[in-house]
A and B are shown apart, each in its own frame.
Chain A
Amino acid sequence: MEWIDFAAPTTVSEAVGLLAQHGDRARMIAGGTDILVQLRGGRRSLDLIVDAKGIPELNEISYDPQNGLTLGAAAPCYRIYGNQTVADAYPGLMDAATLIGGIQIQGRASIGGNLCNAAPSGDSIPPVIVLGGVCNIAGPNGTRQVAAEDFCTGPGRNVLENNEMLVSINFPAPQPHAGANYLRFIPRNEMDIAIAGVGSSVVLDDSGQNFVSARISLASVAPIPVFASEAAASLAGKPVSDEAIQAASELAIEASSPIDDMRGTIRQRRHLIGVLTRRTLNNAVQRARGG
């Protein structure tokens, strides 16, 4: 690694100023579990690392049943699943926060960093998308909001300009009779990169027997996390049934465009998307019914 400077700003505007000054030669660091590996491996070269963790808004985890959750971009996984209220309100998000790396990694890694790193395999991205996450972005001209499904633009690329940063992610309050789940398939039990992953969320009617709406998102089967809107829309208004879930899983497979690589084949990944879509929808229904 070449010489790199380190700055620890304490306000969003100070951080944005530093980013603006250095263009593509500066990047934020949250937990550092992606960026330090990339710098050390020579996959990235920078003049300045800007620490996100000294900025209060980026550490915030605040929830209320009306306005939902504001999750600071740099909040590490252990603080998210360690917050019982948040864990109870968003079990679908906990599925990912408890899955990323091992305990050491979870002591540092953030959901904001997972999203900004924009890996197709990022485990928190499908749950953030299906939970309706909205990204709060700050830049020199103020703030803007981008829906999580529009945030990643390519492998390792996102909508942020060089002088912009992710401040936080907002999640709407959970609706009544709603549930979500994320599952991935990996060759080991822990510590591996997903061959395929699926996040699903559902809202049921008062009887718990019919879908009102759903959202489905896929990991590791395209250059970016996939928002499978047609698969999800096919469930709206249908009774909860194996047939409806099977049909949605077939549409999810069609929304994927996997490749063959050392982790898995196209055929295996398509199969996995079907299985994981059915499982996560069934689990989401269980959670929506309060089970």
Chain B
Amino acid sequence: MPGLVHVQTTINGDEVNFLCEPRQSLLECLRDVLGMTGSKEGCNDGNCGACTVLFDGRIVDSCLVLGVEAQGKEITTIEGLATPEGLHPIQQAFLENAALQCGICTPGFIVASKGLLDNEPDADEARVRHWLAGNLCRCTGYDKIVRAVLDAGQQMRQ
């Protein structure tokens, strides 16, 4: 008889234990097993980036990672960005620049941007656009998103 697998991992700094089927994606585990619905499912095949999480510090599409592969890893999701003191500078910049409309793509864009700005807060527009090529948005036209990320970079440099 097949059995559920026990996975021990770190999500947003907390040790987390969960049970999953080996075929389940990390995205399914986050949303359906752990009830963390901040990461979105757009395409479920790696094209849209709505499910982006930080996986040992690298951005990945959580729909293309298996939940069992999270064993022993450090994961950051959109839920891990804001603190009790307030929004993360990238979240604040998205609000101030009106960089979202329906909002489905937003968690993915914000986590992907964090993956860039944590290491390269001085990334220029070309770098930001290239970095975010794996994130799709059908509402904003991207310009406001790029401006928000550049603004956030400026904040994070200070």
A residues adjacent to B (C-beta < 8 A) = 1-6, 8, 29, 31-33, 36-37, 39-41, 49, 51, 53, 78, 101-105, 107-108, 189-191
Q: Could you say which of B22, B47, B58, B63 contacts A191, with CB atoms under 8 Å apart?
A: B47
Q: What's the nearest-Cβ distance from chain A to residue B36, in Å?
A: 18
Residues of B126-158 contacting chain A, CB below 8 A: 130-135
A-B contact count (CB 8 A): 79
CB-contacts of B43-60 with A (<8 A): 44-47, 49, 52, 55, 58-60
Distance of B55 from chain A, by nearest CB (Å): 7
Shortest CB distance B131–A (Å)? 6
What B residues does A29 contact at CB under 8 A?
66
Count chain B residues whose beta carbon lies closer than 8 angstroms to a beta carbon of A.
Answer: 31
In the assembled complex, which residues on chain B have CB atoms less than 8 Å from the CB atom of A49? 22, 66
Which residues from B are CB-within-8-Å of A101? 46, 134
Residues in A neighbouring B58, C-beta threshold 8 A: 78, 107
SS class, residues of chain A in contact with chain B: loop
> Could you list some 15 contacts between A and B, CB below 8 A?
A5-B2, A6-B5, A36-B64, A37-B45, A40-B45, A49-B22, A49-B66, A101-B46, A101-B134, A103-B112, A103-B133, A104-B46, A104-B49, A104-B134, A108-B61
Q: Within 8 Å CB of B115, what residues of A?
A: 103
Q: How far is the CB of A248 from chain B (nearest CB, A)?
A: 32
Given the interface pairs A5-B2, A107-B55, A107-B59, the reply to whether A33 lies near B64 with Cβ below 8 Å is yes
Q: Give A191 to B2 CA distance when docked, in angstroms.
A: 37
Q: Do residues A104 and B52 form an inter-chain contact, with CB atoms below 8 A?
A: yes
Contacts of A191 in B (CB 8 A): 47, 133-134
B60 touches A6 (CB 8 A): no
Minimum Cβ distance to chain B for residue A122 (Å): 16
Counting CB contacts under 8 A, is B21 at the interface? yes
Contacting residue for A36 out of B66, B68, B131, CB 8 A? B66
Q: How far is the CA of A104 from the CA of B61 in the complex (A)?
A: 6
Residues of B within 8 A of A108 (CB): 60-61, 64-65
Q: Min CB distance, A200 to chain B, in Å?
A: 25
- Interchain CA distance A205-B121 in the complex, whole Å: 45
Identify A32's interface contact among B2, B44, B65, B135, CB under 8 A. Answer: B65
Cβ-based interface call for B124 (8 A)? no
Query: Is the CB of B25 closer than 8 A to any CB of chain A?
Result: yes
Q: Are B66 and A104 in contact, with the CB atoms below 8 A?
A: no
**Which residues of B in the span 81-126 have a Cβ within 8 Å of any Cβ on A?**
112, 115
For the complex formed, measure the closest distance between the CB of A5 and the CB atoms of chain B, giving whole angstroms: 6
Residues of B contacting A41 in the complex (Cβ-Cβ under 8 angstroms): 45
Contacts of B49 in A (CB 8 A): 102, 104
Nearest CB of B to A45, in Å: 11
Give the distance in Å from the alpha carbon of A250 to the alpha carbon of B12 in the complex. 56
B23 touching A3, Cβ below 8 Å = yes
B32 on the interface (CB 8 Å rule)? Answer: no
Chain B residues within an 8 Å CB radius of A32: 64-66, 69
Contacting residues, chain A, for B64 (C-beta < 8 A): 31-33, 36-37, 105, 108
In the complex, what distance in Å separates the CA atom of A40 from the CA atom of B46? 12
| Measured CA separation A31–B55 after assembly (Å) | 13
Evaluate contact between B46 and A33: CB separation under 8 angstroms.
yes
Contact across chains for A6 and B22 when beta carbons are under 8 A apart: yes
- A4 lies within 8 A of B23 (CB): yes
Whether A40 lies near B2 (C-beta < 8 A) is no
Measured CA separation A36–B46 after assembly (Å) = 10
A102 to B49, CA, bound (A): 9
Q: Which residues of B contact A2 (CB under 8 A)?
A: 23
Given A101-B134, A103-B133, A107-B55, are A37 and B21 also a contact pair (CB < 8 Å)?
A: no
Most chain A CB neighbours (cut-off 10 Å) among B2, B44, B66: B66
CB closest chain-B residue, reference A38: B45
